[in-house]
Chain A
Amino acid sequence: MPDASGEDSPITNFLAALLNAHATPTPRILVVEDEKKTRASITEGFQLEGWNVLGASSGAEAVDLLEREAFDLVVLDWLLPDRDGLDVLRHFRQRGHQTPVLMLTARSTVPDRVTGLESGADDYLTKPFAFAELLARSRALLRRPVMSSGNFLRCGDLHLDTRARIAVRGGQEIALTPREVDILEYLLRYQGQIVTREMLERDVWKQSHRFTSLDNVIDVQIMRLRRKVDRDGSEKLIHTLRGVGYRLGREAE
Chain B
Amino acid sequence: MRRWWQKRTLRFQLATWYALGGALLLSAFSATLYFYVAERLAQPLDQQLRRDLEHVRANLSVSPDQILLWNEQPLDSIDRQTSDIPWFEVWDTSGRLLGRWWQLDEARLERVPSAPAPSRETFSIFNVGPDLRIRSLSVPLPLRDGQTGMLRVMRNHVASAGALQALVLIIVIALPIVIALLVLGGYIMTRRWLRPLDNMVDEARRITAEDLSRRLPVANPNDELGQLATVFNVTLDRLQNSFVALDRFVADASHELRTPLTTLRSVGEVALRRSRTVEEYRDIIGSMLEESERLQALIDRLLELASAGTRTLDLQLVALDELAAACVNELAVLAEARGQTLTLAPAGCQLRTDPILLRQALHNLIDNAIKYAPPHSPIRVALTAAPDHCTIDVIDQGPGIPPEHRTRITERFYRIDRGRSRSEGGFGLGLSLANAYMRALGGSLEWAPAEPRGSIFRLRLPR
Contacts and interface: CB of A to CB of B under 8 A. Distances in A.
Interface stretch (A42-50, A159-167, A236-244): A236-244
Contact of B364 (A212, A224, A241): A212
Interface residues of B, number: 28
Interface string B362-379: 011001000000000000
Q: Which of A210, A212, A221, A243 has the most CB of B within 10 A?
A: A212
A211 B337 CA distance: 23
A212 B287 contact: no
- What is the interface of chain A mostly: helix, strand, loop, or mixed? loop
B297 A213 contact: yes
B443 to A, nearest CB: 17
B337 A212 contact: no
A234 interface: no
B304 A214 contact: no
B433 interface: yes
B288 interface: yes
Contacts of A128: 292, 296
Contact of B286 (A210, A214, A224, A244): A244
A223 B331 CA distance: 14
B330 A214 contact: yes
Given A210-B300, A211-B304, A213-B297, A243 B292 contact: yes
Given A212-B363, A243-B289, A217 B333 contact: yes
B258 to A, nearest CB: 18
Contacts of A213: 297, 300-301
A212 B286 contact: no
A212 B334 contact: no
Contacts of A211: 300, 304, 356, 360, 433
Interface string B283-307: 1011111111100110011001000
B375 to A, nearest CB: 14
Given A209-B356, A212-B433, A220 B337 contact: yes
Given A212-B363, A242-B283, A243-B286, A220 B333 contact: yes
B286 A242 contact: yes
Interface in B293-335: 293, 296-297, 300-301, 304, 330-331, 333-334
Interface in B324-351: 330-331, 333-334, 337
A211 to B, nearest CB: 5
Interface in A200-219: 205, 209-217
Interface of B: 282-283, 285-293, 296-297, 300-301, 304, 330-331, 333-334, 337, 356, 360, 363-364, 367, 425, 433
15 contacts: A210-B300, A211-B300, A216-B334, A216-B367, A216-B425, A217-B334, A220-B333, A220-B334, A220-B337, A242-B283, A242-B286, A242-B289, A243-B289, A243-B290, A243-B293
Given A211-B304, A213-B297, A217-B333, 16 more contacts: A128-B292, A128-B296, A210-B300, A211-B356, A212-B367, A216-B334, A217-B331, A217-B334, A220-B337, A224-B333, A241-B286, A242-B283, A242-B287, A242-B289, A243-B285, A244-B289
